[in-house]
Structure 1
Amino acid sequence: MGSYGIGVSRAVAALAEQTADDKGLCWPAEIAPADVHVVAAGKALQTELALDVSEKLSAAGLRVLVDDRAGVSPGVKFTDSELMGVPRILVAGRRSAEGVVELKDRRTGEREELTVDEAIARLTA
């Protein structure tokens, strides 16, 4: 008997190829490595808010990926988040002091500013 070499690896590669765009991967929510990618834009307050939100999302049962790298520019973090292709990206940025974060849909690119509580409610719904 022969094998045609159709396995999980090739299926995932085909899916990645079909769902990617010019910025990187766009995983379907069902197979994405995480439900939400939380990005701390860089300052201490932003990192603190990002970690707090990620803990709340994890407690609600979501798979969360956090980018809190120190010494890396926000632009690099945003580019990396798009390359990884997690369906929803939550950014703790300029308005962190006000308790406002930005929620981005990776596939459509739509962005909206929400309070932390609104963002958590939206992501866990």
Structure 2
Amino acid sequence: MTYRSRGGASETVPSELRASLHTHRDERSLPTFLVESNGFRCVDLLEITAVLTAWLDATKPSDWVHGNVFFHGKPWSPPRPGTDYMGVLPRVHVHQGDVERLQREGLDAFLESWLSPTSLALLGRAGR
């Protein structure tokens, strides 16, 4: 999977910022998840439970936010290079309570709490 811009970054990104832009390439196939917590990490359906479980911390209140999880079901790039459009992707701010729910009720319950039926179908999780 490649995250890249449509068109040239030189068209919309100020010259002083262009040097810091880069293309990130991950060889995973879609659908996948992008986990944001102290940086970004791309994980698949098999890895997401382990990543979220590692966030479990009994000393944190239930509203503690550990990070964000974005869902990528199909190729995507922002409409303007160098801009932040991550908010249009399906996403969840993962609270301590969400991780506790994952432990109690399982991955399907967690995914169903924030993904659409279409996204769940892409994961092969529809109707479970």
TM-score of the pair, normalised by structure 2: 0.28
TM-score of the pair, normalised by structure 1: 0.29
